Structure 1
Amino acid sequence: MARRQGSGVLGMLAEAQRQQHRREEAQRRAAAEQQRRYERAQREAQRAAVRGEKEALRAYQQSREADAAARTAELDARVAELRGVLAAGLAGPAFRLTEASARTDVPPFDPGPLGTPVPMPDQGWYQVPPLSGPQAYDPLARRHWDEQAAQARARFEHDWYAAQAAEQERQRRLADYRAQYEAWAAERRRLVGEQSGQTDRLAADLRSGAADAVVELFETALGWRDDWPEGFPVDVEAAWDAGARQLVVEWELPPYEVVPAVGRYRYVKADDSEAEVARPATERRTVYRDVLAQCALRVLDAVFRADESELLASVVLNGHVAAVDPATGQEQRRCLLSVAVERAAFDSLALDRVAAIDCLVDGLGGRLSARPEKAEPVRTARAARAVAVAPPAGEDEPDLFTMDPIDFEKLIAELFRRRGLDTATTARSGDEGVDVLAEDPDPITGGRIVIQAKRYRHTVPPTAVRDLDATMVRQGANRGILVTTSGFGPGSRRWVEGKPLTLVDGPMLVSLLHEHGLRGRLGAAPAAAADAGRPAPETLAPGQNTPLAAEEVAIAFRSSGAAADLTLLLLGEAGVVRGDRDFVFYHQPSAERDAVVLRPADGSATVRLAALPEDVRRVAVSVNMDTDTGLACDALGEAELELRAGPGAWLFRPPADPAISAMLVAELYRHAGGWKLRAVGQGWADGLAGLARAHGVDVS
């Protein structure tokens, strides 16, 4: 049965309650829906905020990682720059004395923007359009037009006066600028004139072989480039040995710190920091040694490329760093590399393809510190401070035979000090057969050295050599040196074979003294020639050279001992004969249509330099013992080679060496359009055959 709805008051109340309930339910549902929408919006906002924070964090972290990568790239670029030190030097220009002076032309005056006049205003730009039509008769329009025209004239006058003032200021500044240019141009012309004169004087001094000029040239050549990497010092000291045609260079090397200790940078997200990752110690040491070797090759290349006149026969390079001595705590120079290089050996290198360390150590025979990061030194081939111009022998030089014994020992100590050893003389009594004690500072090959000095006129007996051997053992030394003013016999030479003993005879001693700027001669100075037209000859030490002013050279060889033959060889650019016809000896006594004539009977020869063809670059003068006698050069006695050319005369006393039987005594060579003479003293144990083979003669 269907329920019937009441129609009375109760029904009305019930309906009203139902309506109220529905309204309340609708409100509740609306409120709940609004709450849900609000909560959804809040959650979406939170999610958006989180997404924004993550994106911002991600962007921040990426920027930090990019910063770390950029700093790492800078480190990589620095290491690449260090690995390219040699390549950068080879790619750069060479120093040329002929191009070193400033340009002689002064650039013309360029006023720049000041050369453009200030534009003047055009009055037409300021005209007010005339009135037309009914406005031309309107008093109000006419008054307004007059006001505009007056304002336009005022603007024109203001701009015109402003332009005039600007033009006057331009002309004033232009005049000041021109005056500055004229002053600069005059000073530049003065400096160019001075520099040109200095360059001309330097070139003249170089042609004369002046040591100061040679040093200035090469120190300038090494210091003018400014493309070394940051942190590389450019500090050079040079010395010139004219006799040996050798330049000794002391070069400051970069410190170990030029190789970055950091290998890369890494961003750490966990604590928002940047961490340094250390470069492996092995890699850093390897890079540093390679940098040092590259520096050496680059310096050598700069020196030889700057030698336009081919002054140099060889170069000695010593590379130093400033380091703290762990024993004293004091800063001192440590030699980390040293190399002596002949020009021919260096010219044969393809520097753009070499491995720097292998080239320096194996190819050129140089020394490179095994642990340069610890400033572990090596022994120098020759120090610049030990180089000085060798004075000619004369009365002002002390006679080593008559020198006070103590002074002689001090002289020997100073000689070896200049050769890089730490030396000290011993007391006169209780010296146990030691005159000089020396220490070689090289940590690998160095050690204690005992030196004996024998001021003898006769041959040193073998017993003195055997005594030195025993003294060396007694002193705990690893080398012994016996120095004498006389010579050594075959027995002494045989005794030292295979032993750490060195024998220095009189001629070698004089040569070493002169090589290191010390003075000394053996016996009285040469007496003046009886004939005033024939000056007393100047004595040359091995390696010394002198220019020849005459075109004919007379050669004479004399010996108070065994007989020897004079031999001459005509040599080309490569240092060898052009053919067997260039070998002038007793069976072939002339060459080049008597330009070279040998007189075997009296041991003399004549060389007409002007008659020699252009492809003959040198004439080697040698002495060889008769092979049938079996004698060596120590049997020559008081031997001397005398050369005369015009007013000049020179004397060379070859060393009395029992180990050789043929010797290249002197050579005449072309230089700068003329000829020069050089004393040599190089020997061959296999006699004339060895000498001939060394110069390209077929002796088969």
Structure 2
Amino acid sequence: MGRRRGFFAEMQYQAAKAQKERARQAAAAERERVRLEREMHRAQAAAAMARERMARADVQAAAQAERELKRLHIEAQQSKVESLNADLQEELAAIDGILESTLAVDDYVDLENLRRVAEHPPFQSAYQTALAAPAPISAPPEPYFQPPAPPAGISAVFAKKKHAAATAAAQAQFGQVHAAWRAAVAQIPQRQLAAAQQHQAAEGERLRRLAHDRRRYDAECAERQRIVDAENARLDDLINRLADNEPEAVDEYIGIVFGNSIYPDVIAANSDFDFSYSSELRELSITVVFPSPETIPKTKLFRYVRASDEIAETALTQKDVTTRYVNLLNNMTLRTLHEVWESDRAGKIDSISLVGGVNHVDPAVGQDVFVRLIALAVSREDFLQIDLARITPSETLKHLRAVVSKTPHRLTPIDDKKGVRR
């Protein structure tokens, strides 16, 4: 047995489950961090002491170090036991408090809150920045002629020819340098044009690639928007069908409510719900699959046994195990009724018919069977008169004239052949 969750129910279930898991992991991580920090300080102190004693090479110090390491090991084991017991008590408290925990929240689901808005990341491309324009090409400074210094003194009369020759050579060399300068200056416009054309081509390629990235981004945004629009259209359809009191829409809404109802892991992994709404009777029929008795923790606490250096478990008494299981079934039943009616603000459900049991392999025939452990039918009017924060669950089920197994922990089925509407 089992109902496949609807789209929105699954979405709500996964979100609620993820939130609960994040809280659990955060608490566990904090406990582990404190434990590791404590162990780190102990290890550092022990290492420092060991190094000091080894340096003295003192037999007495070595024995003391061994005793200290043993003490630290015992403390580490005891710390582990504390952590295990903390986790165990947290798990047992969560099992025992499944009814109380739901009373602290409003189980109504405003379907408009499920409406989505497409979220798009900002556009990014490696080609968003324009290429820098080429810098202007400046002409090199024009060379100027620097004639050789004229001869001076007594030798000036005899050096005129030599000076004239040097000047002529300098002028010839200057002519070549100046001609090269003029040629370089003449090439500047052409070089500038080539640089501008190269920049224009590179910029054009950048813009082409930028446009390609933009088209891809726009397509991705359009696809995200299409998915969101489709989901919102499904939501609109659900809201409209729910307003028309269509049974399938009521079922889907109840599935969302149950999707928000997160049980402790050991229960969630071993339980299930099936339900069906009759618009003619205005009644919701629910089948609850309870966890089997063997799935519920039977450990009372963990303890460290120094003699064997082992962590042992102390089991709960059979009476405690039985009481916890009976209370679990009672609390799950009342929680289910409460969540349905608290969420049904539109008043579509006038009554609930509920059957709860356990999937079990019949040892006599080896066949899968559903063992019915509880059954009741109750009207909205009768149930809403009950203050669940002040009741004893077993007495409340008696008040509601529920048919309950006398020994559910032994999977003794109920006898409801006469029905539960008495």
TM-score by length of 1: 0.37
Q: How does 1:80-479 map to 2 (within 5 A)?
A: 80-96=93-109, 98-99=111-112, 101-103=114-116, 105-110=117-122, 182-183=218-219, 185-222=221-258, 224-225=259-260, 227-231=262-266, 232-233=268-269, 235-359=272-396, 361-379=397-415
Q: Which has the higher contact order (CA 8 A, sep 6+)?
A: 2
C-alpha displacement of 1:194: 3.2
Q: Deviations over 1:26-67 (max 9, x none)?
A: xxxxxxxxxxxxxxxxxx933322222222111111111221
Structure with the bigger percentage of helix? 2
**Matched residues in 2 for 1:312 and 1:245: separation?**
5
Matched, 1:54 2:67: yes
Q: How many residues align?
A: 289
**Matched residues in 1 for 2:387 and 2:67: separation?**
58
Q: Deviations over 1:378-421 (max 9, x none)?
A: 245xxxxxxxxxxxxxxxxxxxxxxxxxxxxxxxxxxxxxxxx5
Amino acid at match of 1:227: I
Q: Deviations over 1:521-557 (max 9, x none)?
A: xxxxxxxxxxxxxxxxxxxxxxxxxxxxxxxxxxxxx
**Matched residues in 2 for 1:293 and 1:343: separation?**
18
Q: How does 1:432-581 map to 2 (within 5 A)?
A: none
* Secondary structure at the counterpart of residue 333 of structure 1: strand
C-alpha displacement of 1:211: 2.8
**Matched residues in 2 for 1:192 and 1:213: separation?**
20
Residues 1:236 and 1:280: Cα distance change in structure 2 (over 3 Å): same
C-alpha displacement of 1:257: 3.5
C-alpha displacement of 1:183: 4.6
C-alpha displacement of 1:184: 5.1
**Matched residues in 2 for 1:183 and 1:285: separation?**
60
Contact 1:72/1:264 (<8 A) preserved? yes
Q: Larger radius of gyration, structure 1 or 2?
A: 1
Amino acid at match of 2:64: R
Contact 1:246/1:315 (<8 A) preserved? yes
**Matched residues in 2 for 1:174 and 1:298: separation?**
57
**Matched residues in 2 for 1:194 and 1:319: separation?**
37
Amino acid at match of 2:344: D
C-alpha displacement of 1:79: 0.2
Contact 1:96/1:308 (<8 A) preserved? no
Q: Deviations over 1:579-623 (max 9, x none)?
A: xxxxxxxxxxxxxxxxxxxxxxxxxxxxxxxxxxxxxxxxxxxxx
C-alpha displacement of 1:230: 0.6
Stretches of structure 2 that go unaligned for 5 or more consecutive residues are 1-56, 133-204
* Secondary structure at the counterpart of residue 298 of structure 1: helix
C-alpha displacement of 1:113: 12
**Matched residues in 1 for 2:301 and 2:407: separation?**
24
Q: Which moved more, 1:47-56 or 1:279-288?
A: 47-56
Stretches of structure 1 that go unaligned for 5 or more consecutive residues are 1-43, 121-167, 381-420, 422-439, 446-511, 513-700
Amino acid at match of 1:59: L
Residues 1:255 and 1:108: Cα distance change in structure 2 (over 3 Å): same
Contact 2:290/2:357 (<8 A) preserved? yes
Residues 1:51 and 1:326: Cα distance change in structure 2 (over 3 Å): same
Amino acid at match of 1:56: L
C-alpha displacement of 1:291: 1.7
Contact 1:339/1:364 (<8 A) preserved? yes
**Matched residues in 2 for 1:368 and 1:63: separation?**
47
Residues 1:212 and 1:106: Cα distance change in structure 2 (over 3 Å): closer
Q: What is the root-mean-square deviation of aligned Cα atoms in Å?
A: 3.8
Contact 1:114/1:174 (<8 A) preserved? no
C-alpha displacement of 1:315: 0.8
Q: Deviations over 1:274-309 (max 9, x none)?
A: 222112121122112212222112211221123232
Residues 1:191 and 1:354: Cα distance change in structure 2 (over 3 Å): farther
Residues 1:316 and 1:112: Cα distance change in structure 2 (over 3 Å): farther
**Matched residues in 2 for 1:181 and 1:356: separation?**
57
**Matched residues in 2 for 1:263 and 1:115: separation?**
65
C-alpha displacement of 1:188: 4.0
* Secondary structure at the counterpart of residue 251 of structure 1: strand
Q: Deviations over 1:74-101 (max 9, x none)?
A: 1111101112212333334524353264
Residues 1:238 and 1:59: Cα distance change in structure 2 (over 3 Å): same
* Secondary structure at the counterpart of residue 374 of structure 2: strand
